């Protein structure tokens, strides 16, 4: 039954810009429409119609931010009979209208593609925004370290401890753009992202591309490009590692973007809750080819 349900979920993904026939979904799942709706609601915690609406508006949100189509074209593409109806539905999901989202690059909500296993994945939403950033420079200290998926990375902890407060202060004073202050940067990762593979870890600030790096610090110019910025709050480092995981296992498969070469930037600050951290994760992205 789970295999059939997942086939039905795939059918939905292929037709987000078309009319979706619940009867056809039921035939794929080898059940009745009534039982499919009841089963989906029980497993997913939301009605089937609401899931389809959220998925459509997730993909529509990416198109709104991309700016390649007019808002009315996007509204019609995803089944809305007027710009007003689309704007109401868009705001109900994203908390901001499509016009304002396009003008300001507002943070949007992403409904992940849902899959059914022994547990349900995709029943929560992620907040993100898309940012166009000009060329900039990383300036700080760099080390080659092993990748650790869970818990504190001992090599990174030892590296940061060895930098010393005076050097950290020098790095902090170089920051002149978002994300501000000292950031953690991962670059040149192994494509497999397997535990124990190596990466370049930076303890650095972002500054102008043409700024001269002080003696004794490493630097790297990063080309202009598009970034997806994710936010989370939770216990350090578990919440950060889970956010990183969810970006690659849920957000990318559910949105019309793909990863592009470039450093991944993490900015962390203490949260109001005890032992919690506010985090922003900047991932370099590019649009996947539009569906015809």
The CATH number assigned to the domain with range 2-124 reads: 1.10.10.60
| 55-111 pLDDT tens trace | 999 999 999 998 889 999 999 999 999 999 999 999 999 999 999 999 988 889 888
The structural domains of the chain, with segments of one domain joined by +, span 2-124, 133-287
Q: Does domain 133-287 have CATH number 3.20.80.10?
A: yes
Tell me which of 10-14, 46-50, 140-144 is least confident: 46-50
Q: Please state, in angstroms and rounded to a whole number, the distance separating the CA atoms of residues 228 and 195.
A: 24
Q: Is the pLDDT of residue 283 over 60?
A: yes
Q: Is the pLDDT of residue 54 over 50?
A: yes
Q: Please state, in angstroms and rounded to a whole number, the distance separating the CA atoms of residues 158 and 174.
A: 23
Residue 79 is predicted with a pLDDT of: 92
Residue 1 is predicted with a pLDDT of: 60
Q: What is the DSSP string of 115-173?
A: EESSSEES-S-EEEEEEEE--EEEEEEEEEEE--SSS--HHHHHHHHHH-HHHHHHHHH
Q: Is the pLDDT of residue 120 over 60?
A: no
Question: DSSP character for 291?
Answer: P
Mean pLDDT of 2-13: 88
Helix, strand or coil, per DSSP, at residue 225: strand
Q: Please state, in angstroms and rounded to a whole number, the distance separating the CA atoms of residues 81 and 152.
A: 51
With a pLDDT cut of 70, the percent of the chain lying above it is 93
Q: What is the DSSP string of 46-107?
A: S-HHHHHHHHHHHHHHHHHHHTSS-HHHHHHHTT-SSHHHHHHHHHHHHSS-HHHHHHHT--
Residue 204 is predicted with a pLDDT of: 94
Name the more confident of 60 and 252: 60
pTM of the model: 0.64
Longest dimension (CA), the chain: 71
| 162-181 pLDDT tens trace | 998 999 999 999 999 999 99
Question: DSSP character for 174?
Answer: T
Residue 119 is predicted with a pLDDT of: 46
């Amino acid at each position: 039954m789970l295999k059939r349900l997942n086939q039905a979920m795939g059918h939905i993904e292929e037709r987000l810009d078309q009319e979706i026939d619940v009867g056809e979904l039921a035939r794929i799942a080898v059940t009745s429409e009534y039982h499919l709706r009841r089963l989906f609601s029980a497993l997913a915690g939301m009605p089937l119609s609401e899931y389809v609406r959220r998925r459509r508006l997730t993909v529509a949100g990416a198109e709104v931010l991309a700016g390649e189509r007019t808002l009315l074209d996007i509204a019609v593409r995803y089944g809305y009979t007027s710009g007003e109806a689309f704007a109401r539905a868009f705001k109900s999901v994203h908390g901001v209208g499509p016009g304002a989202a396009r003008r300001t690059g507002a943070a949007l909500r992403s409904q992940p593609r849902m899959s059914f296993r022994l547990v349900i994945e995709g029943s929560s939403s992620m907040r993100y925004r898309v940012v166009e950033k000009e060329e900039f420079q990383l300036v700080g200290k760099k080390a080659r370290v092993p990748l650790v998926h869970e818990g504190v990375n001992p090599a990174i902890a030892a590296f940061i401890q060895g930098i010393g407060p005076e050097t950290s202060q020098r790095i902090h004073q170089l920051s002149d753009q978002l994300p501000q202050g000292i950031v953690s940067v991962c670059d040149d990762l192994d494509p497999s992202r397997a535990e124990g593979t190596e990466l370049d870890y930076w303890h650095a600030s972002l500054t102008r591309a043409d700024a001269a790096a002080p003696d004794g610090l490493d630097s790297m110019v990063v080309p202009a490009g598009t970034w997806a910025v994710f936010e989370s709050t939770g216990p350090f480092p578990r919440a950060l590692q889970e956010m990183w995981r969810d970006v690659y296992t849920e957000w990318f498969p559910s949105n019309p973007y793909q990863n592009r070469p470039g450093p991944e930037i993490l900015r962390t600050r203490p949260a109001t809750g005890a032992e919690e951290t506010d985090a922003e994760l900047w991932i370099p992205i590019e649009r996947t080819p539009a569906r015809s």
